[in-house]
Amino acid sequence: MYKEALKQGGLAVVTGAASGVGLAAALHFAKAGLGVVLADLPGEALEKATAQVRMAAGDGATILAVPTDISDADAVNALADKAFDAGEIAVLMNNAGIGLSSGSWENADNWRKLIEVNLFGVMNGIHAFVPRMIEAGRPAVVVNTGSKQGITTPPGNPAYNVSKAGVKVMTEMLAHDLREAGAQISAHLFVPGFTYTGMIKRFMPEKPAGAWTSEEAIDYFIGRMADGDFYILCPDNDVSTSRDQKRIQWALGDIVENRPALSRWHPDYAEAFAAFEKSS
C-alpha cells in the first residue's frame, strides 16, 4: 500500500521525529515528495529537525512541527486535528518511545512511564488518526515502531519488553481489523536492530561497529514496506536476519516444548541453544 499512498501524495506524520530513526524517516518521506508533520516534545531538537526536513523537502512542501506529548491523548488528538487541517494523511508513523530501567519488582514509576509512552502513546496515535484515515478512503499506511525486546523478551528490562510486546500485538490486531474493514490502509511493524540513536548515544558516545545508523535502518524498512511486508525486523552489523529468525524460533519453542521461561539464558540450555543457533 505504501507505493499507492506515495503516488497519491499527502502528508507523513512522524512521532519521535526530532532525532534517531524518527528524523531519518521524516527526511526520507520529505525527499520522496510527501509533506511531513514532525511531532516530538517541545524544544531545540524539534526545531532543528524541522529546519533540516524543510531543507530536504521540495519547494512548497508542507512541513510542520507540532510539539506533542504522545502519552497525553488530548495532545495527540490535537496533533491529528492540525495534521488533517493541513492535508490528507498518507503515512502515520507511531515511532516515539523512551528507555528507562526497570526490574520485575522494582521501579514502579518507570514501569508506568514506559507503558504510558511506548504502548499507550501508540494507541493514542491509532485512535486519533485511523478512524479519519479510513473515512478518507485513500491509500495509506500505519507504521508502529516495536523492538526485538518485545519479541524475544531478553532479561534486563521487563517493563520495556512488556511495552514493546504490547506494540507488536496491537499492530497485529490493527492489520487484521483494517483488512476485515476493507480499508485501503496497511499496518506495518517496524523493528530496528542495534541502531545508533540518541537513546544509545547517552551510553555510548561513539557508534559501535555492530550498530546500524538510523538512515540504514529506515532505508531497509522502507524497502520492505514497499514490498508489502508486515513484520520488518532490521538486521545490523552483528546480527543477521537468519540469526534473528533462530532466536525467535527458540523463544517460541519455550512454549511448544514447555521449557523454562527464557531458556535461551538458562544455564541448563546454553549448549542446546548455541547448537540450535548454529544449525542450518
Which residues lie closer than 8 Å to 8 by C-beta, 6 or more apart?
88, 90, 138, 139
Q: Tell me which H or E stretch contains 30.
A: helix 20-31
269 is catalytic: no
From 160, 196, 231, 269, the catalytic residue: 160
Rg (CA), the chain: 19
CA dihedral of 188, 217, 68, 133, whole degrees rounded to 10: -30
> Which CA distances in Å does 146 have to 152, 164, 186?
12, 5, 16
Q: Compute the distance between CA of residue 218 and CA of residue 29 in angstroms, rounded to an integer.
A: 10
Q: Compute the distance between CA of residue 218 and CA of residue 48 in angstroms, rounded to an integer.
A: 20
Q: Compute the distance between CA of residue 240 and CA of residue 220 in angstroms, rounded to an integer.
A: 13
Active site residues: 160
